[in-house]
Structure 1
Amino acid sequence: MEWQLPEYNLRMMLPEIFLFLWALAVMTFDLFTKRKTGSAVGYLSLLGLLITGFILSLTGYGRGFTTMFFNDPMSLFFKIIFLGAAFMAIASSFGITKQKIVNHRGEYFGLILLSTVGMMFLSSSNELLSLYIGLELTTIPLFVLAAFFKDDKLSVEAGIKYFVVGAFSSALLLYGLSFLYGLSGTTDIVQMKINLAITHLTFKNIGLILSLAVVLLVAGIGFKLALPPFHQWAPDVYEGSPTPIAAFLSVGSKAAGLVAFAKIFLNGLSAFHGPEMAPNDWGKLVGLLACLALIIGNVLAIRQSNIKRMLAYSSIAHVGYIMIGMVAMNELGIASVGFYLFAYLFANMGAFGVVAIFEDKSGSCQIASYAGLSKTSPFLSISMTVFLLSLVGIPPLAGFLAKYYVFAAAIKVASSDPAFSWMYWLVGIGLLTAVFSLYYYANVIKEMYFSAELSPYRISFSAPAMSVLLIGLIGVFLFGLYPEPILQFASKMSLVFGFVQY
C-alpha cells in the first residue's frame, strides 16, 4: 500500500495564522517605536482584525489537519463574534490614559489578539486535545491582561484569582476529557459520539464513570462560564481588570466556553440527553445550573453599588438564559443561542464601553457617580440607557427577541414531550428574574436622569471609543427590528449537531 502524507490544508487555518503573525508584528512594532507611535499600535491592531475578517470570508468550509480542524457554520458564526468582541475591546481601550497601558500598548493589544486566535482555533477544533489547547490559548493571555495594572491592588488580585480558578478549571476539564477518551477510545468528537453509544449498549456498567465525566466537564466549563456554583471569581476579576478586558471576558471568553460546551455536550454527548438516559442525562444537571445562574446573578446584582460588579453578576444571569437554549437541543434552541450571543455582544460591549469612557474621566465605577450625567453628557447617557434596556429585554431592542427565542425553544420542547415539562419551570424562573433585572438596570438610568445632582464630568472621547457606542446602538436596534439574517445564519449551526429533534 502506498504511503501518503496527511492532508493538512492550511488554507482552512489562514485567518488564525494571519492573526497570530499580526499579533507578533504589533508587539514587535511597539518594541522598536515605543512612545513615538501614540495610538498607531491600536489602529494597527484594529486593522489586523478587519483583515482577518476579510480572510475569514474567503476561507469557506472544509477540513484542515485531517479531522482535527474543521470550518463549518458554527465555527464561522463564533469567529465573527470573537472578532467583533476583540474589535470593540481594543477600540474601547483607546481612551484609557493609565500609564501602564500607555507605556505597554504593544503587549496589551497583542495579548488581546493572541487570545482571539485561541478562541478562533477553539471554535474550529474537532478533536478533544485541540479543543483543550484552544481553550488554554484563549485564557493564558487573559490572565496577564486581568492583572495588567500591576500597581493596582485590585488588578493584581483579579489576575491571581483568575489564574488560580483558570488553572483549577482546566485541570477538571482535562480530567473529564480523559474519562471520555477512556470510554470511547478516540479523541475525535464525532467518532466519540458513535463509540460512546456503542459502549453504552454493550457495557451497561459505564454509567458511573460517564456520570463522573459529565460532572467534571460541567464543573470545568462552568468555571470558564462563571456558571453557579462556580461563579465566585467573576465579580472580583471584572472589578479589578481593565474595563475593556472585563468586557472582553464577559463576551469573548464566555462565548469560547459555550463553544467548548456545545462541541462536547451537543455533539459528543448528545446521545445522553433525555429521560431514557437517566441517571446519565446531563440536561437536567445543566438546567439546574442555568436556574441557579438566573437567580443568583439577578438577585446579587441588585445589591451592587459598583457598576462593573453589577455587570459581572448580570453576565452570570445571561449565561443562564443562554443555557436554556442549549438544553433545548432543537433547531430553534441553537438559533436562539446564536442570536442571544449577537444581541449580548452589542449591548454588553456597548455598556462596558460607556463604563470605560466614564471611568477614565471620573476615576469612579460607583453607580452613584453617574448622578446627573444626562445633563452634561447626553449622548453617553442615551447610549447607556439603550444598552441596559436591551440587556433587560425591552422591545424593540435585540435583547427582547433574544429572550423570546430562548423561551420559545424551551416551550417547544416542553410542550412536545411531557418528559421535558420541567423546562416550563426554567422559562418561568427566567421570566421572573428578567423582571428583577429591570430593577438594577433601572437604578443606573435613575441616577443618570432623575438625580438632583449635576454631574461634574463633561466627557469627551476618542473616535474609536465613539465607534464602539455607535456599533452597539446600530446592532441592538437593527437586529431588534430585523432579526432574520442572524437567525438564518445561526440556524445553520444546528446542521453541525446530530441532536434529537423533540
Structure 2
Amino acid sequence: MVSYIVELLTAALCLILLVANLLLPKHKKKFALLTGIGLFTILIVSLFNGNHPQTFFGGAYIIDSFSIFFKQLFLVAAILTVLVSKDHIASKQGEFYALIVSALLGMMVMASSGELITLYMGLELMTISFCILIAYQGDEKSKEASLKYIILGAMSSAIFLYGLSLMYGVTQTTIIKEIAGVLRAGHFVPLEILGMIFLMAGFAFKIAIVPFHMWAPDIYEGAPTSITVFLAVASKTAALAVLLRLFMGGMSSISSYWVELVILLSVLTVILGNLIAIPQTNIKRMLAYSSIAQAGYFLLGVIANSNLGVAAILLYSLFYIFANMGAFGVAIAVYKATGSNEIKDYAYLARKSPFLAAVMLISLLSLAGMPPLAGFIGKFYLFLAIIEKGQLWLAFLSIGMSVVSAYYYLRVVKVMYFGEGPKKFESIPVSKSTKLALTVSMIALVVLGIYPNQLINMVLAVSKAFLP
C-alpha cells in the first residue's frame, strides 16, 4: 500500500464532496454522513497502513510513526467535529464539510513536512480553509471574527515566512534534516537566532501563545462552535507537530538559545491565560483563555527537549482533543436550546440534561488535571519531563496555575448543579450524532485516565523513534 495513501484519500474525499455538492443539491443532508463515513474509513486505513519510516521527494515529505500519530489525532478530531456539527450547520453543508476535509489535509501535510516550503503550503491550506469556516454562520460576529483571523493570520504567515527565508539564507537548504546538519557543523551566525525568533513567533500565533494570543478569544466566540473546537484542538496540535519537527529535529544543536525563549513564552502563557479566564462570563471566551493556558502547558514538553517531553506532548494532545470536544459539544447543544453562551444560562443544567452536565463536568475536570481523569495523566508527564531537566520552579509554577484553573472550571460546575437563577427545568434535546460524539469523548477521558499504560508505552515508542 502507498505510504501516503491517507493524504490521497483525504484529497479524494474533499473533491467528492465538492462534486457531490454540485450534482446532488437535493441530498445535502447526507453530506455529514458521507463525510463521517469517509473520514472513518481513512482512519481505519491509517491504522493498518504500517509505520515504517519513509521519505519522499528528496526528504521533503516524511512518513513515520510521529506523523502517523498526529494524522490519526487529526482524523479523530475531524470525525468528532462532523458529528457535533451535523445539526448545527443548516445550509451549504457540502462546502462546509469539504472545507473541514481541506483543513484536515493541510494539517496532514504539516505533520509530514520535512522541508520548509512543503510545511508552509500545508500551513496555508489549513489557514485559508479556517478563514472561510469561521465566517460560515454569516452573522456580523462571525464575519468580524473571520476578518480578524485573516488579518492576523496574514501577519503571522508573513513573520513565519520571513523566518523560513532567513533560515534558508543561512543554511542554503530547505530540507529540515540538512538544516540540522549545517547547524550541527557549527556554522553559527546571528541570522540563525533571528530566523529562529521569527519562526517561534509564527508558531506562537498559530498555537495562541502569549503575547501572540490576541486573536483567540474573539475568534473562538464569533466562529461556529463546531469550528471553534476544530480550530482549538486540531490546528493547535498540527502547529505543535511542526514545531517539534523543526526545532527538536532541525535546530537541536542551538537548543540552548530557543529553550530560554520557550520558557519565557510558557510562563507568560500559563499565567495570563489562567488569570484572564477567571472573570469571563461567556463559556466560549472562558474556554478560549483556557485553551491559551493549555498551550503554555504544551510548551513544557518543548522545553524538556527530550523523549519524555515529546511523549508527554503526544499523550496530552490526545486527551486535550477529547476534553475540548466534550466541553464545546455541550456548548453547542446548550446554545441551540437557549440561544446563549453565557455561563449563567447553564443554571440547573444537571436537571435539564444530566447527560450534558456530566460530559461538561468530566471535560472541565480533565482540563484542570484532576485525577483519575486523562488530563491528570497528561499533565503529570509534562511536569515530569521538565522536572527531569531540573526545571523544578517551572513545574511548581505550572502546578500552581493548574490549581488556579480549577477555580473557573468549578465555577461552571457550580452553576450547572446548584444554579444561580430561576429554576426552569425544561429538558434540553440532544441529537444522536452529538450524543455519540460526547459519549465517546467522556468515555475516553475516563477509561484512558484509569488505564493509560498501553497508550503511554505507545507514545514513548513514537518519541524514541522521533528522537533516537
Q: TM-score range by the shorter chain?
A: over 0.9
Whole-angstrom CA distance in 1 between matches of 2:430 and 2:24: 25
Residue 95 in structure 1 maps to residue 87 in structure 2: yes
Equivalent position of 1:66 in the other structure: 58
Whole-angstrom CA distance in 2 between matches of 1:455 and 1:128: 56
Residue 450 in structure 1 maps to residue 383 in structure 2: no
* SS across alignment from 1:22: helix
2:63 counterpart letter in structure 1: N
Equivalent position of 1:12 in the other structure: 3
After superposition, what is the alpha-carbon deviation per residue over 1:339-390, rounded to whole angstroms, capped at 9, x for unaligned?
A: 1111111111111111111111211000000001111211111111111111
Equivalent position of 2:440 in the other structure: 471
Whole-angstrom CA distance in 1 between matches of 2:406 and 2:354: 21
Equivalent position of 1:306 in the other structure: 282
State the Cα distance separating 1:199 from its structure 2 match.
Answer: 4.3
| 2:28 and 2:94 in contact (8 A); partners too | no
Equivalenced residues, count = 465
Equivalent position of 1:144 in the other structure: 132
Whole-angstrom CA distance in 2 between matches of 1:475 and 1:461: 20
Whole-angstrom CA distance in 2 between matches of 1:103 and 1:89: 16
Residue 214 in structure 1 maps to residue 182 in structure 2: no
After superposition, what is the alpha-carbon deviation per residue over 1:236-290, rounded to whole angstroms, capped at 9, x for unaligned?
A: 000000001000011001011101211111111111113xxxxxx1101011101
5+ residue gaps, structure 2, are none
1:73 counterpart letter in structure 2: S
State the Cα distance separating 1:428 from its structure 2 match.
Answer: 1.5
Residue 358 in structure 1 maps to residue 324 in structure 2: no
Q: Please, which of 316, 341, 353 is the counterpart of residue 377 of structure 1?
A: 353
Whole-angstrom CA distance in 2 between matches of 1:346 and 1:462: 19
CA RMSD of aligned residues (A): 1.4
Residue 264 in structure 1 maps to residue 246 in structure 2: yes
State the Cα distance separating 1:462 from its structure 2 match.
Answer: 1.6
Whole-angstrom CA distance in 2 between matches of 1:55 and 1:407: 34
Whole-angstrom CA distance in 2 between matches of 1:161 and 1:209: 31
Equivalent position of 1:24 in the other structure: 15
* SS across alignment from 1:102: coil
After superposition, what is the alpha-carbon deviation per residue over 1:276-311, rounded to whole angstroms, capped at 9, x for unaligned?
A: xxxxx1101011101111011100000110000000
| 2:304 and 2:385 in contact (8 A); partners too | yes
State the Cα distance separating 1:58 from its structure 2 match.
Answer: 3.3
Query: CA separation of 1:37/1:456 partners in 2, compared to 1, >3 Å: closer, same or farther?
Result: farther
Matches for 1:174-193 after TM superposition, within 5 Å: 174-193=161-180
| 1:304 and 1:310 in contact (8 A); partners too | yes
Equivalent position of 1:156 in the other structure: 143
2:84 counterpart letter in structure 1: S
Equivalent position of 2:115 in the other structure: 127
| 2:282 and 2:342 in contact (8 A); partners too | yes
State the Cα distance separating 1:488 from its structure 2 match.
Answer: 1.8
State the Cα distance separating 1:59 from its structure 2 match.
Answer: 2.7
Equivalent position of 2:227 in the other structure: 245
| 2:351 and 2:425 in contact (8 A); partners too | no
2:230 counterpart letter in structure 1: F
Matches for 1:32-71 after TM superposition, within 5 Å: 32-34=23-25, 36-37=26-27, 39-60=29-50, 61=52, 62-71=54-63
Whole-angstrom CA distance in 2 between matches of 1:197 and 1:497: 18
* Percent of aligned pairs sharing the same letter: 40
Whole-angstrom CA distance in 2 between matches of 1:298 and 1:54: 38
| 1:270 and 1:498 in contact (8 A); partners too | no
Equivalent position of 2:181 in the other structure: 194
Query: CA separation of 1:264/1:115 partners in 2, compared to 1, >3 Å: closer, same or farther?
Result: same
Equivalent position of 1:328 in the other structure: 304
Query: CA separation of 1:183/1:111 partners in 2, compared to 1, >3 Å: closer, same or farther?
Result: same
Q: Please, which of 235, 251, 262 is the counterpart of residue 217 of structure 2?
A: 235
| 2:307 and 2:467 in contact (8 A); partners too | no
1:186 counterpart letter in structure 2: T
Whole-angstrom CA distance in 2 between matches of 1:495 and 1:408: 17
Equivalent position of 2:325 in the other structure: 349
* SS across alignment from 2:428: coil
Worse-matched range after superposition: 452-461 or 185-194: 452-461
Whole-angstrom CA distance in 2 between matches of 1:106 and 1:47: 14
Show structure 1 runs of 4+ deviating over 3 A: 495-499
Larger of the two Rg values belongs to structure: 1
After superposition, what is the alpha-carbon deviation per residue over 1:444-488, rounded to whole angstroms, capped at 9, x for unaligned?
A: 111111116324542112211011111111110111011122222
State the Cα distance separating 1:37 from its structure 2 match.
Answer: 2.4
State the Cα distance separating 1:14 from its structure 2 match.
Answer: 1.3
Residue 485 in structure 1 maps to residue 461 in structure 2: no
After superposition, what is the alpha-carbon deviation per residue over 1:6-39, rounded to whole angstroms, capped at 9, x for unaligned?
A: xxxx9222111111111121122133322x3253
Whole-angstrom CA distance in 2 between matches of 1:39 and 1:287: 48
Whole-angstrom CA distance in 1 between matches of 2:316 and 2:344: 30
Worse-matched range after superposition: 366-375 or 182-191: 182-191
Whole-angstrom CA distance in 1 between matches of 2:147 and 2:465: 37
Residue 288 in structure 1 maps to residue 280 in structure 2: no
After superposition, what is the alpha-carbon deviation per residue over 1:55-105, rounded to whole angstroms, capped at 9, x for unaligned?
A: 222332322333211111110110111001111111110121xxxx32200
1:494 counterpart letter in structure 2: S
5+ residue gaps, structure 1, are 1-9, 275-280, 415-422
State the Cα distance separating 1:137 from its structure 2 match.
Answer: 1.2
Equivalent position of 1:440 in the other structure: 408
2:446 counterpart letter in structure 1: F
Whole-angstrom CA distance in 1 between matches of 2:11 and 2:132: 17
Whole-angstrom CA distance in 2 between matches of 1:260 and 1:66: 18
1:143 counterpart letter in structure 2: C
Whole-angstrom CA distance in 2 between matches of 1:365 and 1:131: 36
State the Cα distance separating 1:54 from its structure 2 match.
Answer: 2.0
